[in-house]
């Protein structure tokens, strides 16, 4: 049976006062005829036109590090020299990591 966790809680005293007919009516009202559907499964079944990328090979041209760039010793990302914050013991540190 599904439980509505957002509904206000009732005391044990209040639960004991409900009649059997009220409980049966509440149970029938709370059950719906619709089936719970996982949205992720439904989304996977949709196929967009021209969006089949299963056989596609992605290629990226990798450029070597330029003379005006440096590699941060903390985040290991390549930044432009204008992003250089400090240099400690030969280690270059970018502004984001400083």
Residues 46-70 pLDDT 10s? 776 776 677 778 888 989 999 999 9
Judged against a pLDDT cut of 80, whether residue 11 lies above it is answered with no
**97 with 85: CB under 8 angstroms?**
yes
Residues 20-36 pLDDT 10s? 777 777 776 555 555 66
Judged against a pLDDT cut of 80, whether residue 12 lies above it is answered with no
User: Which element (helix H / strand E) includes 26?
Assistant: helix 20-30
């Amino acid at each position: 049976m599904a439980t509505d966790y957002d509904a206000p809680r009732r005391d044990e005293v209040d639960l004991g006062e409900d009649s059997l007919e009220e409980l049966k009516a509440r149970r029938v009202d709370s059950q719906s005829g619709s089936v719970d559907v996982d949205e992720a499964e439904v989304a996977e079944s949709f196929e967009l036109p021209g969006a089949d990328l299963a056989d596609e090979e992605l290629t990226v041209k990798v450029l070597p590090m330029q003379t005006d760039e440096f590699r941060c010793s903390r985040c290991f990302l390549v930044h432009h020299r204008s992003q250089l914050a400090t240099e400690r013991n030969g280690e270059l540190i970018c502004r984001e990591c400083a």
